[in-house]
Amino acid sequence: MNVIMQFMKRNYKILLVVLALSVALLGFSLFPSKKESDPEKDKLLIELLTFVIEKGHYSPAAIDDNFSKGVYKDYLNALDPSKRFFLQSDIDEFANYETQIDDQILNKDLSFFDLTYTRLMQRMDESKSYYKDVLAKPFDYKADETFNADYEKIPYCKSTKELKERWRLQVKLSALSTLVEKQKLEEDKKKNTEAGKNETPKSFEQMEKESRESTLNSLNDNFNFIKDLDRNDWFSIYINAISSRFDPHTSYFAPNEKERFDLSMSGKLEGIGARLQKKNDFTEISELISGGPAWRGKELESGDIILKVAQANGEPVDVVGMRLDDVVKKIKGPKGTEVRLTVKKQDGTIKVITIIRDEVEIEETYVKSSVVEKDGYKYGIIYLPKFYIDFEDQNSRDAAKDVAIEVERLKNEGVQGIVMDVRDNGGGSLKTVVDIAGLFIEQGPIVQIKSAAGKKEVLYDRDSKVQWDGPLVVMINEFSASASEILAAAIQDYKRGVVIGSKQSYGKGTVQNVIDLNQFVRGSTYGDLGALKTTTQKFYRINGGSTQLEGVKSDIAIPDKYAYLKMGERDIENAMPWDKIDPANYTIWDKQNNFEQAIKKSKARMQANSQLQLIDDNAKWLDERNKENVFSLNIDKFKAEQKALEEKNKKYKPIADYKNEFVFNSLPYELEAMNKDNVLKEKRERWHEGLSKDIYIEEAIHILNDLQMENSKGLSNKLKKEKVVIKS
């Protein structure tokens, strides 16, 4: 989940904490050179993190036995969530530490971590033979067996024999699922007489063997990924089990994770513009980023295997078998520098490709818009995937500047209403959400923030200019969090627009700061220590209520498939509580006074909409299905279960097949770009196709139309009255 961030320079409390830490940690200023996984570095990290959290967290939990029990549970669940590595005897041994972790944290004692890490490596190594032995021979699919996938409730295995049996059943379920799918494909071929003429049908034995091979390859890929993890990666899991007990959004960023976080916030990087993936020991190009240097060069292609990497005129370094993160580090680099890749093309030829690195923008991060027509009116859709910003470069793109540009472009197209779509938007920069909300009001408070000391700060839009004063709809769902909730709450409190979507948004009402841990240690030879993201404040609506746990409740709640599943902040064990403060001083928007009529019409439409009723029914069914965890491993029973599910799913097929009445189009500037960029064209066509199947966007447009029509009536009546006055 992305977070709301503030510049540290705006938070006097954090500055005081930083100053105090800098003084308190002078004793850590000079250390002897150590290898990367030195336990002394780990001890330093624990001391740094707990000290920073205790001094800077909004409401730090006491590090006591209850805290210790929470860390113990979360950490073991993170290490072995499906209970397929540890034995009950391991857990019995670990349990001696259940109430000692708090003492170990305070004493910088790593014995619990060392024990669990060593044992996990041992158990993982042992488990490789379990699945390989099982998949070496055919399964008996006539045996009446079941597998229970309720990992929270099933116990740990008491013996190696029992653990091997659990592996056998789990692997059998995976192979059985693949086998049944292969049989379906074979049956489809038989029905297609043309295909049947040209292909020899596969026997059951062939398909069974292929299913085992496919399962083996998947498990091997999984273990190859695990093999790439080192002790530091596992220690990060332990550190995060500690930090997340303070609240769900306090976490440790190892150096690589901090870099990825910065990338997600800014939406840009410096490199070649390619996405990589690991395939066994090889690094493969999975996608070229549109507009990036690799894409512009037209030599590198998806599917190419990278064998060597060289910096400019330097010697090529063999990257076969290297960790993916390490390969990425060698390929990335500053704008204007040269990298040479030795790649194996899909036809088997070997080629050296030279690329000059450049700044690459991740297009999926950024805002985009579309135009649609209804009843002679034009409306604009603005989709904002996150509230992005580059804190290091004030002149770079940020969400607020980009949304303002899109609004102007839509105005130039003559739109008479705008939908702001922040569904699935997990948050981002606090500054950008204040600026974006300010585009739709004259001026006034947007959000209130309270620190641990009780000091309240109100963030204002101080620009009296209104970028858009027409009808407005804000779309949210269960995954709209943080900054998305601030935007929706402000629009709702001002009565500036109608909020539609899920019953309520995610419910994250806390503010996090990312604190670089390196600033506290002078002359360290340990390398990059990473960063800590910790909760420093809570934010509140301008009406005084918190969005924590409760989220933002939609003015018009529309059924969706996740409505009954536990997925919000309120469902997390150690989430911070809801509360409220005094409201800010604000003036309700008075230029759109027909919300009630529009909401009433929308609710009437929804009651009569069989598609929405079907979606609600499907949501209830998904909730029930989510509670079913026992699967038959008898092929006949498994097929019968799958057939029953398929029959049930037929009832819900109209949900996927649904198509609304609208046609969505890109703006002129983008149409021009799409003519030159087939990748962008394909992405926009996919987006527009998705919009044309989106019943929620359809309802948003109906609401805009109702608001617009009521506005038109109001204007017409006003003009009539003025004429009457003139005549009289």
Is residue 399 within 8 Å of residue 486, measured between CB atoms? Answer: no
Q: Of residues 493, 555, 560, 706, which has the active-site annotation?
A: 493
Is residue 84 within 8 Å of residue 170, measured between CB atoms? Answer: yes
Residues in the chain, total: 728
Distance, in Å, from the CA atom of 631 to the CA atom of 648, rounded to the nearest integer, reads 17
Taking alpha carbons only, the member of 101, 76, 96, 75 closest to residue 86 is 76
Tally Cβ neighbours within 10 Å of residue 611.
15
598 burial (CB, 10 Å; 0-12 / 13-18 / 19+) is: buried
Q: Of residues 508, 533, 538, 601, which has the active-site annotation?
A: 508
In degrees rounded to 5, what are phi and psi of residue 29? Answer: -70, -40
Distance, in Å, from the CA atom of 307 to the CA atom of 284, rounded to the nearest integer, reads 9
Token readout for 28 is 């850590």
Is residue 701 within 8 Å of residue 374, measured between CB atoms? Answer: yes
Taking alpha carbons only, the member of 51, 44, 46 closest to residue 17 is 51
- Is 508 among the residues known to form the active site? yes
Helix, strand or coil, per DSSP, at residue 720:
helix
Distance, in Å, from the CA atom of 249 to the CA atom of 263, rounded to the nearest integer, reads 19
Distance, in Å, from the CA atom of 493 to the CA atom of 487, rounded to the nearest integer, reads 10
User: Cα 277 to chain center, whole Å?
Assistant: 19
369 CB-side CA count, 13 A: 26
User: CB within 8 A of 373, min separation 6: which ones?
Assistant: 379, 662, 663
Taking alpha carbons only, the member of 109, 122, 21 closest to residue 68 is 109
Token readout for 160 is 């190696």
- Is 713 among the residues known to form the active site? no
376 burial (CB, 10 Å; 0-12 / 13-18 / 19+) is: exposed
Helix/strand/coil (H/E/C) assignment for every residue in 596-637: HHHHHHHHHHHHCCHHHHHHHHHHHHHHHHHCCCEEECCHHH
Q: What is the dihedral of CA 227, 229, 235, 237, to 10 degrees?
A: -100
Q: Of residues 251, 482, 546, 554, which has the active-site annotation?
A: 482
User: CB within 8 A of 201, min separation 6: which ones?
Assistant: 186, 189, 190
Helix, strand or coil, per DSSP, at residue 414:
coil
User: Cα 120 to chain center, whole Å?
Assistant: 28
Tally Cβ neighbours within 10 Å of residue 641.
14
Task: Name the β-bridge partners of 535.
Answer: 512
- Is 133 among the residues known to form the active site? no
Q: Which amino acid is at 629?
A: N
Catalytic residue list:
482, 493, 508
